[in-house]
C-alpha cells in the first residue's frame, strides 16, 4: 500500500494540473453562465453571450470528466484557447470603460498552471501582442491617456507573466529534484526499487518483447572484506558506469547491495541471452583500477521474458531464480528462465 502511495506521489505535476483543470472548469463554468445571462438579456451582446453559453457547457463537461478521470492535454488547450478568444472578442467589441480587458491579466496564470512553461510562454506572448494592438486602437481615450493606459496595462500584464513564469520554473525544478531524491540510488545514480516499479507501471505495462536481466556482482563480500567498504562503493559506481556505457541509464536499477536489474527490448530469448552474455564477457575482461589496485570483476546474470498480465514481483522472481541457478553453476555465467524451465521439464519427465 505504501509503495502505491509513493508511486502516486511521483505524479505530483499531473495531479496538480488535473486538480487545477477540474476546479477551473467549475468556477469558470459558473462565471461564464452568469455573464452569458447578462450579455444575452441585459447587454444585448448576443455573439459573446452565445459563445459564453458554449464555454460554460464545455467547462462543466471538464469538471464532470476530471472528477473520475485524468484531464487530457487537449482539454487544457481547448479551455485556454476558448477563454482567450472570449476575452479577446469582448475586448474588441466592448467599450473600454466596461473594463472587460482586465481579465487578460489572469491568462498567464491560467496558461502556466494548466499547460506548463513552454505553452505558457507562447500563449502569454500571443495574448500580450493581440490585446495591446486591440487596446491601442480604442478611440474612447485621448492620445496621451491611451499611451499611459497601454503602459500601465502592459507593465501589469508583464509583471503577472514574470511571476507566473518564475513560479512555474521553480516548481518544476524543485519537483525534479524531489523526484530524483525519490527515484535515484544516492551512491551510483542508478534507479532504485521505487524507480523500477514506476518504470514498470508507466513504460513497460503489457509491453511485448521486454526482458529483465537480474545481475549480481560475484564475490562482492570478499571485495569488501579484502579492500574495505570504500573500495566496494567504488566498485558499485564503476559497474553502474560500465552498464551505462552499454545501454541507456534509464533502464538500469540498483535493487540491492550488489544486485542490479536491467530492462531490455529484444525480439527473442536468444538475442536477450546474447546481449547478457556480451555484457558479462565485456565486464570480466575489463581491469578495474581503484585506488591503484587492479580488481577483476565478474557477474552472474539471470534473464526472464515478460509474460502477459504478469506482475513485476513475478517477473523479477523468474529472473532471480535464473540468477540463483547461474550462481549455483559456478558464477560468471548467464542463465535464462526459459533454459531453467526446460531443465525442470526434463527432470519432470525423468521422474
pLDDT in tens, 198-254: 888 887 766 778 899 999 999 999 999 888 889 999 999 999 999 999 998 889 999
> What residues contact 78, with CB distance under 8 A and at least 6 apart?
58
Terminal CA-CA length for the chain: 42
Q: What is the side-by-side order of every strand in the sheet holding 252-254?
A: 252-254, 259-265, 210-217, 299-305, 334-336
Q: Predicted confidence band at 178 (pLDDT cuts at 50, 70, 90)?
A: confident
Rounded Cα distance between 106 and 89, Å, is 16
Q: Cα–Cα–Cα angle for 319, 321, 327, nearest 5°?
A: 105
Mean pLDDT lowest for which of 18-22, 93-97, 144-148, 304-308?
144-148
Supply the pTM of this predicted model.
0.69
Which helix (H) or strand (E) covers residue 300, if one does? strand 299-305
Other residues' Cβ atoms within 10 Å of the Cβ of residue 18: 20
Phi first, then psi: give them for residue 334, nearest 5 degrees. -120, 130
Q: Which domains does the chain have, with CATH numbers?
A: 2-182 (no CATH), 193-350 (3.30.70.270)
Whether the per-residue pLDDT at 262 is higher than 80: the answer is yes
Residue 251's Cβ-side half-sphere holds a number of Cα atoms within 13 Å equal to 16
Amino acid at each position: 500500500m505504501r509503495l502505491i502511495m509513493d508511486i502516486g506521489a511521483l505524479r505530483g505535476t499531473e495531479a496538480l494540473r488535473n486538480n487545477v483543470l477540474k476546479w477551473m472548469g467549475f468556477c469558470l463554468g459558473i462565471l461564464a453562465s452568469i455573464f452569458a445571462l447578462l450579455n444575452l438579456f441585459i447587454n444585448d451582446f448576443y455573439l459573446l453571450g452565445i459563445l459564453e453559453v458554449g464555454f460554460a457547457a464545455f467547462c462543466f463537461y471538464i469538471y464532470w470528466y476530471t472528477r473520475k478521470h485524468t484531464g487530457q492535454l487537449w482539454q487544457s488547450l481547448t479551455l485556454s484557447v476558448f477563454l482567450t478568444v472570449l476575452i479577446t472578442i469582448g475586448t474588441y467589441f466592448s467599450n473600454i470603460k466596461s473594463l472587460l480587458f482586465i481579465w487578460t491579466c489572469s491568462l498567464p496564470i491560467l496558461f502556466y498552471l494548466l499547460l506548463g512553461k513552454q505553452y505558457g510562454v507562447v500563449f502569454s506572448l500571443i495574448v500580450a501582442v493581440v490585446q495591446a494592438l486591440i487596446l491601442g486602437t480604442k478611440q474612447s481615450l485621448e492620445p496621451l491617456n491611451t499611451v499611459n493606459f497601454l503602459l500601465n496595462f502592459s507593465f501589469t500584464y508583464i509583471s503577472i507573466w514574470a511571476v507566473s513564469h518564475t513560479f512555474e520554473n521553480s516548481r518544476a525544478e524543485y519537483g525534479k529534484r524531489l523526484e530524483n531524491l525519490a527515484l535515484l540510488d544516492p551512491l551510483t545514480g542508478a534507479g532504485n526499487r521505487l524507480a523500477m516499479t514506476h518504470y514498470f507501471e508507466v513504460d513497460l505495462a503489457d509491453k511485448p518483447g521486454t526482458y529483465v536481466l537480474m545481475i549480481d556482482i560475484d564475490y562482492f563480500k570478499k571485495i569488501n572484506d579484502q579492500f574495505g567498504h570504500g573500495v566496494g562503493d567504488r566498485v558499485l559506481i564503476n559497474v553502474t558506469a560500465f552498464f551505462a556505457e552499454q545501454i541507456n541509464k534509464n533502464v538500469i536499477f540498483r535493487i540491492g547491495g550488489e544486485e542490479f536489474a536491467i530492462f531490455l527490448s529484444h525480439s527473442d530469448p536468444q538475442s536477450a541471452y546474447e546481449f547478457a552474455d556480451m555484457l558479462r564477457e565485456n565486464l570480466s575482461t575489463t581491469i578495474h583500477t581503484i585506488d591503484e589496485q587492479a580488481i577483476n570483476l565478474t557477474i552472474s546474470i539471470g534473464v526472464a521474458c515478460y509474460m502477459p498480465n504478469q506482475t513485476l514481483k513475478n517477473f523479477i522472481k523468474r529472473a532471480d531464480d535464473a540468477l540463483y541457478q547461474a550462481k549455483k553453476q559456478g558464477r560468471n555465467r548467464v542463465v535464462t528462465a526459459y533454459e531453467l524451465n526446460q531443465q525442470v521439464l526434463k527432470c519432470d519427465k525423468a521422474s
